[in-house]
Amino acid sequence: MKKELGKWLMDVAKYVVTAFLISSFLGDITTRWVMYAIGSTTVVILISVGLWLIIKDKNKDKKED
C-alpha cells in the first residue's frame, strides 16, 4: 500500500514539473521566481516523501523474507 502511494506521489511530482514548465513557456508571468520556488519546493517534498515510502516498504519486505 505504501509503495503504491509512493509511486503515486512521484507521478504527481512529474506532473507538477510538467505543468510549471509549460506554464512558464506559454504564460506571461511577471514573478517567475515565485513560481519556480513554489514548484521546486513542491517537487522536492513530493519526491522525498514518495521515495521514503517506497524505501520503507522495500525494507519491510526484506525483513519478512
Model pLDDT for residues 10-42, shown as the tens digit of each residue? 999 999 999 888 887 887 777 778 888 988 999
Segment 50-62 mean pLDDT: 83
Domain interval for residue 51: 2-58
Tell me whether residue 63 is in a domain: no
> For position 32, what pLDDT does the model report?
79
Listing DSSP states for 26-57 in one string gives HS--S-HHHHHHHHHHHHHHHHHHHHHHHHHH
What lies within 8 Å, CB to CB, of 20 at 6+ separation is 35, 36, 39
Question: What cell does 54 get?
Answer: 517506497
Segment 55-65 mean pLDDT: 74
User: Cβ(13)–Cβ(53) under 8 Å?
Assistant: no
Q: How confident is the model at residue 45 (pLDDT cuts 50, 70, 90)?
A: very high
Tell me whether residue 53 is in a domain: yes
Number of domains in the chain: 1
Q: Tell me the one-letter amino acid at 34.
A: V
Tell me whether residue 24 is in a domain: yes
> For position 56, what pLDDT does the model report?
84
Tell me whether residue 64 is in a domain: no
Q: Reply yes or no on whether the pLDDT at 65 is more than 60.
A: no
